[in-house]
Amino acid sequence: MTAIQLLSAPGVIRIAVINAQKLLDFAIWYPGHSDGFGDLYLGRVEHYTPALGGAFVALGKDFSGFLPNNATAKPLLGGDWITVRVTRSAQGGKGVRLDARNLDEYSLPQDKSFRRLQAGISPFEELAQRWSDADILIDEPALIQLIPTDYTSRVKISNAPLSSELLEQIDALETSEVQLPMGMRATITPTPALVAIDMDTAAQSNDRQHKLRAQFNANKESLPALLHHLRLRNLSGAIIVDMAGLPIKKRRLFQENFEQSLALDPLQPRFLGFTNLGLAEITRPRKRPPLHELLTSTHGQMTKILAQLEQEFKALSTHHHYHHLTLTLSLTIKQALQNDSWAINHFEKRCAVSLTIESNPSFTMQQWEYHYA
């Protein structure tokens, strides 16, 4: 039976869609810090840039997005007010991408000012809609407050821990390596321009014919698992896959394998073929930020510190005697935490303490310390 398991830690919820011992889907959700995907804004055209094929639209103070020409139903002039939707969250060092089509139902208000008109759906809602028949399992009763009423009938409280096998699969998503069938592995290297994936075989044979046959079979068996990781890690944009061994002519025989595996992905990535060097080319739509960016972001580092603090504090044999914690952070991390009141409240409830946040200008983003009273 397929289930959507919500795994909570201070300030963050990992959403795992599971069936038996297989991880079918995955997302990171910061309830107090939206990624902005799907948000609807009233904005104003700042300036049109013919060279880039679109216009920059101001959405608020120090916040703007890019609206391509093909994403608007009419020509735009500087100063025009317009209703737009975020179709790509900020990621890869670039700001949000916008679309102004099919928004006729949202008429421009007379009082024109920058504002968010409607929030987009959260990563949880996206997965709950995608897996509409799955039970929703929560490990904290208080999490029911985060669940929209459309989904509460599917919610069940589950205190049963996930198997070590599933936890290993989830934890492995934070690494750059993917363990694959038949002793294969892949290394994922995101760059500003593309995601490079290098497949590798663990064992080699001295028999050339046996080696070629073994490499062919190993690549064939491993491709579905590897391409499933595009979905689990939400890797997107241009993706290059270097298959293990194999002459270029042999690699071209895998086109159907690529296409069949990618067809299972709800974002419908496209297989573009092989380069002259034998590298497989894939494009996957950019929508929400990829997993590696969420984990290494300021917010991701902030929640990691909260998890470490919770672990250290609860490891004290006398932690029930203390009711106040003072946490000292770098200025950047402090600001991130101050802007996420849900994360602060969530931590305080989990640890049964009140939390005071301070900053130390000399601290790096990874440095922190605390004391209790």
> Which residues are CB-contacts of 361 (< 8 A; sequence separation ≥ 6)?
331
Decide if pLDDT at 196 tops 80.
yes
> Which residues are CB-contacts of 13 (< 8 A; sequence separation ≥ 6)?
6, 7, 28, 29, 30, 31, 124, 143, 146
Q: How many helices (H) and strands (E) does the chain have?
A: 9, 20
Decide if pLDDT at 92 tops 50.
yes
Report the distance separating Cα 313 and Cα 322, nearest Å: 10
Return the ∠ at Cα 327 (arms to 325 and 332), rounded to 5°: 155
CATH code for the domain defined by 297-372 = 3.40.1260.20
Concatenating the DSSP letter of every residue in 227-274 gives HHHHHHTT--EEEEEE-SS--HHHHGGGHHHHHHHHTTSTT--EEEEE
What pLDDT is recorded for position 202?
A: 63
Mean per-residue pLDDT of the chain: 93
pLDDT digits (tens, 9 = 90+) for 235-257: 999 999 999 888 888 999 999 99
**For 29, phi and psi rounded to 5 degrees?**
-130, 120
**Contact in structure between 330 and 367 (CB atoms under 8 Å):** yes
Tell me, yes or no, if the pTM score tops 0.85: yes
**For 14, phi and psi rounded to 5 degrees?**
-90, 130
Judging by DSSP bridges, how do beta strands 195-200 and 185-190 pair with one another? antiparallel
What average pLDDT does this structure show over 53-63? 92
- Please state the separation of Cα 205 from the chain's center in Å: 39
pLDDT digits (tens, 9 = 90+) for 285-298: 999 999 999 999 99
What pLDDT is recorded for position 203?
A: 55
**Contact in structure between 271 and 255 (CB atoms under 8 Å):** yes
CATH class of 40-118: mainly beta
Classified by CATH at the fold level, domain 2-34+122-161 comes out as Nucleotidyltransferase; domain 5 (3.30.420)
